[in-house]
């Protein structure tokens, strides 16, 4: 049996095992996906064990997305630019690291609206924001603006990627077509946090959320009331999962079944 897995700390609440195991089951693939809770101090030893064992692929989560890069044999240009590995493919004892978070963001948005020629505001300036900027640049967004609570972090990212930046309070100046909510504000809080005043959201906007706990965050609820197109956070997880599954198995991911497994486990 081939083994695949999730590597993070903590690793308890990941939805990746039900998602990938549902995919393997649907296609009759003799494989199992497990969650590995790995402390930062044990990461190197864990990777060495993977090189010598029967694990075929890994999803990498925080806090390891950056540190694991030092232990891999090859890293894709995507992962180098985003400066984070979230997917590993193991072949003959060699580990290849790449990043498909940006594909998750891209495909979740393309499912609802084109990106080319659109003005995009990204809220946040952390690791997930890097993947979002990359996805928007790859898809030829006409303008990309990063707004963050700590403006200096937004500025640093903006300079690196050649995009615009500002504070969250600058949102009113921009009137974007697409908003990508990439902060962790309101994570796990059913009431959420209003990071953008609801009066500024419009029906012309598409709002993509990265948080999926809760699934309807404050900005999604406020946007929906205004008639905006909304994209819930589990879509990013699902679409990056489809890309991982296809890299590992060379087969088309059974998307409906995998998404259903996520929804069943979110309840
Ligand atoms: P990160 O590197 O820790 O960055 C967190 C960002 O959130 C920073 O920009 C921070 O601003 C901002 N922030 C935190 N609390 C805030 C608040 N109360 N008000 C305004 N801004 C606040 O995290 P990350 O890795 O980029 O992840 C961001 C979010 O995306 C997390 O919720 C994560 O769970 C989610 N995510 C989802 C998926 C998925 O598959 N759906 C994948 C990856 C990440 P400062 O710079 O000012 O601190």
What distance in Å separates the CA atoms of residue 148 and residue 121, rounded to the nearest whole number? 10
Query: Could you say which of 65, 81, 118, 235 is catalytic?
Result: 65
Phi, psi of 3 (to 5 degrees): -110, 135
Report pLDDT for 189: 92
Q: 6-37, pLDDT tens digit by residue?
A: 999 999 889 999 999 999 999 999 999 999 99
Report pLDDT for 13: 86
Which of the listed residues 62, 135, 184, 214 should we mutate to test ligand 1's pocket, taking the one with most ligand atoms within 8 A of CB?
184
Q: What is the mean pLDDT of the chain?
A: 96
Report pLDDT for 92: 86
Q: 206-233, pLDDT tens digit by residue?
A: 999 999 999 999 999 999 999 999 999 9
Which of the listed residues 59, 104, 183, 186 should we mutate to test ligand 1's pocket, taking the one with most ligand atoms within 8 A of CB?
183
- Note whether 106 and 137 are within 8 A (CB): no
Percent of the chain with pLDDT over 90: 95
Cβ(233) – ligand 1 distance below 6 Å? yes
pLDDT-based confidence at residue 54 (cuts at 50, 70, 90): confident
Q: String of b and e for 75-112 (b: at least 16 CB within 10 Å)?
A: bbebbebbebbbbbbbeeeebbbbbbbbbbbbbbbeee
Report pLDDT for 68: 97
pLDDT-based confidence at residue 53 (cuts at 50, 70, 90): confident
In the sheet where 164-167 sits, what is the strand order?
164-167, 143-148, 119-123, 178-181, 206-209, 229-231
Residue 123 has pLDDT above 80, yes or no: yes
User: Residues 72-83: what's their mean pLDDT?
Assistant: 96
What distance in Å separates the CA atoms of residue 42 and residue 49, rounded to the nearest whole number? 11
Atom of ligand 1 nearest to the CA of 235: 41
pLDDT-based confidence at residue 172 (cuts at 50, 70, 90): very high
User: Residues 159-187: what's their mean pLDDT?
Assistant: 97
Report pLDDT for 212: 94
Q: 88-108, pLDDT tens digit by residue?
A: 999 888 999 999 999 999 999
Residue 177 has pLDDT above 90, yes or no: yes
Cβ(5) – ligand 1 distance below 6 Å? no
Identify the H or E element spanning 220. helix 218-225
What distance in Å separates the CA atoms of residue 24 and residue 70, rounded to the nearest whole number? 30
141: tokens are 């967004």
Cβ(128) – ligand 1 distance below 6 Å? yes
Q: String of b and e for 211-241 (b: at least 16 CB within 10 Å)?
A: bbebebbbbbebbeeeebbbbbbbbbbbbbb
User: Residues 126-148: what's their mean pLDDT?
Assistant: 97
What distance in Å separates the CA atoms of residue 213 and residue 229, rounded to the nearest whole number? 19
Is 65 one of the annotated active-site residues of the chain? Answer: yes
Greatest CA separation found in the chain? 56
Backbone CA torsion sign across 239, 145, 139, 156: negative
Q: Ligand 1 centroid vs 147 CA: distance in angstroms?
A: 12
Atom of ligand 1 nearest to the CA of 129: 26
The position carrying tokens 């072949």 is 91
Report pLDDT for 93: 87
pTM metric for this prediction? 0.95
Residue 267 has pLDDT above 80, yes or no: no
Percent of the chain with pLDDT over 70: 100
Backbone CA torsion sign across 136, 58, 215, 39: negative
Report pLDDT for 164: 98
Phi, psi of 60 (to 5 degrees): -110, 130
């Amino acid at each position: 049996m081939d083994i695949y897995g999730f590597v993070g700390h903590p690793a308890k609440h990941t939805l990746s095992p039900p998602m990938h195991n549902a995919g393997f089951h649907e296609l009759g693939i003799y494989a199992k996906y497990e969650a590995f809770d790995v402390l930062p101090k044990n990461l190197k030893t864990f990777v060495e064990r993977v090189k010598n064992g029967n694990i075929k692929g890994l999803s990498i989560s925080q806090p390891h997305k950056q540190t694991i890069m030092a232990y891999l044999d090859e890293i894709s240009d995507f992962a180098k630019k985003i400066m984070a590995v979230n997917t590993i493919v193991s072949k003959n004892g060699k580990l290849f690291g790449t990043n498909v978070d940006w594909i998750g963001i891209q495909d979740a948005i393309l499912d609802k609206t084109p990106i080319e020629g659109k003005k995009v505001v990204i809220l946040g300036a952390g690791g997930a924001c890097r993947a979002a900027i990359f996805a928007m640049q790859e898809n030829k967004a006409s303008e990309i603006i990063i707004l963050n609570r700590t403006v200096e972090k937004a500025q640093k990212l903006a300079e690196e990627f050649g995009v615009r930046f500002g504070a969250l309070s600058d949102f009113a100046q921009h009137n974007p077509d697409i908003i990508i909510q990439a902060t962790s504000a309101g994570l796990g809080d059913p009431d959420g946090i209003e990071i953008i005043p609801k009066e500024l959201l419009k029906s012309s906007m598409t709002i993509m959320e990265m948080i999926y706990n809760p699934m309807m965050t404050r900005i999604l609820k406020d946007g929906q009331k205004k008639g905006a197109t909304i994209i819930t956070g589990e879509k990013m997880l699902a679409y990056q999962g489809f890309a991982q599954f296809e890299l590992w198995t060379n087969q088309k991911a059974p998307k409906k079944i995998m998404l259903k497994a996520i929804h069943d486990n979110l309840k």
